[in-house]
Structure 1
Amino acid sequence: MKKLIFYSAMLFILAVVAYKLFFYFDRKSEQEAILKNEAVTRLSDEELAKIEEGDFILRRGFGFFSDYISKELNSGTIDVTHAGIIIKHNDSLYVVHSLSSDVTNIDGLQAQPIGDFLKYSFPNKIIITRAKNCDKDMGAKISQLAQKYLAMHIPFDHKGNFDDDEKFFCTEMIWKILEKDLHCVSLPTEAEARKKFFFSMSPMYDTKYFDIKINQYDIENK
């Protein structure tokens, strides 16, 4: 019995060490890619001028974990891996988004100047979407709700429980605002279909729910 407990403890420790090492090397890989691409402009002045508060920004991130998301949670040629909500503060654009403490110093919701957010994106792999029938008033409401949750310091949803509103992964916050707060979209309700929907990036650029304001993948594929 003692041997069983010992071996179980050792396996647990090894699993934790492997987990930590994975994200250590993932962050290292990400930082190297950021430095390599730091001189590349991600959004032109013309593209930035198209953005309004309450829009959603999708990016294809760097690192091993992003590589997995890009392949498994998308469809077609698009391979975005992360999403956030654009807000305005003192006439400057910021992105409110949720990240795990495994990849950042803050666990959960945080706000970044859009320029800093874009540093973590592959060049020419950015999409900006806007909710269907979204006018300036609705955009302002989306922005206000994002800032409300930011002020609440909502932590990251490590377990992926998409119907638990106490924690958010990146797209979970967006769908919470659109489905439950503003009631402007109808999402799947059956358990398996809902799970498949939430554990995918594809709905975030589905024209059933969004107007595509900027799609750099269109430029890439011309």
Structure 2
Amino acid sequence: MKKFIFYIAMLFILGIVAYKLFFYFDKKSEQKDIIKNEAITRLSEEELSKIEDGDFILRRGFGFFSNYISKELNSGSIDVTHAGILIKRNDSIYVVHSLSSDVTDIDGLQLQPLKEFLKYSFPNKIIITRAKNCDKNMGMQISQLAQKYLAMHIPFDHKGDFDDDSKFFCTEMIWKILEKDLHCVTLPTEAEARKKFFFSMTPMYDTQYFDIKINQYDIKNK
């Protein structure tokens, strides 16, 4: 019995070590790509001028984990891996988004200058969307709700429980605001369909829910 417990404990420890090592090397890989691409402009002045308060930004990130998301959670030529809400403050633009403490110093919601957020994106792999029928008032509401949750220090949803509003992964916050706060979208309610919906990036650029304001994938493929 003691040997069995010992082996279980060792397997548990090895599992934790392997988990930590994966994200350590993932971060190293990400940093290499950031340095390699740091001189490339991600959004032109014309594109920046199209951004409104409360818009959503999607990016294709670097690293092994992003590679998995890009292939498994998208459709067609689009391979975005992360999403956030754009906030305009005076003449500056910020992003409210949720990241795990495995990849950043803050676990959960954080505010980041757009310029910094874009460093972590592949060039020419950015999409900016706006909620369907969204006027300036609705955009302001989205922005205010994002900042409200930011002030609450909502942690990252490591378990992926998309109906637990006490924690958010990146797209979960966006759907929480649109579905439960503003009641401006109708999402699947059946358990399996809802799970499939939330564990996918594809709905984030579905024109049933959003107007596409900037799509660099279209430019790249022309």
Shorter-chain TM range is over 0.9
The question of 1:44 aligning with 2:44 is answered yes
- Identity, % of aligned positions: 86
| Distance in 2 between residues matched to 1:219 and 1:131, nearest whole Å | 22
AA aligned to 2:78 is I
**What is the aligned partner in structure 1 of residue 18 from structure 2?**
18
Moved >2 Å (runs of 4+): none
**What is the aligned partner in structure 1 of residue 173 from structure 2?**
173
**What is the aligned partner in structure 1 of residue 121 from structure 2?**
121
**What is the aligned partner in structure 2 of residue 91 from structure 1?**
91
TM-score if structure 2 supplies the norm length?
1.00
**What is the aligned partner in structure 2 of residue 201 from structure 1?**
201
**What is the aligned partner in structure 2 of residue 160 from structure 1?**
160
Deviation at 1:74, TM superposition (A): 0.2
Deviation at 1:89, TM superposition (A): 1.9
Q: Secondary structure of 1:180's partner? A: helix
| Distance in 2 between residues matched to 1:166 and 1:90, nearest whole Å | 30
Note the alpha carbon deviations across 1:122-170, whole angstroms, 9 max, x for none.
0000000000000000000000000000000000000000000000000
| Distance in 2 between residues matched to 1:88 and 1:13, nearest whole Å | 45
TM-score if structure 1 supplies the norm length?
1.00
- Unaligned 5+ residue runs, structure 1? none
**What is the aligned partner in structure 2 of residue 109 from structure 1?**
109
| Distance in 1 between residues matched to 2:177 and 2:76, nearest whole Å | 27
AA aligned to 1:164 is D
- Unaligned 5+ residue runs, structure 2? none
Q: How does 1:131-150 map to 2 (within 5 A)?
A: 131-150=131-150
The question of 1:29 aligning with 2:22 is answered no
**What is the aligned partner in structure 1 of residue 70 from structure 2?**
70
Deviation at 1:91, TM superposition (A): 2.4
Deviation at 1:90, TM superposition (A): 3.0
**How many residues are aligned here?**
222
| Distance in 2 between residues matched to 1:7 and 1:133, nearest whole Å | 58
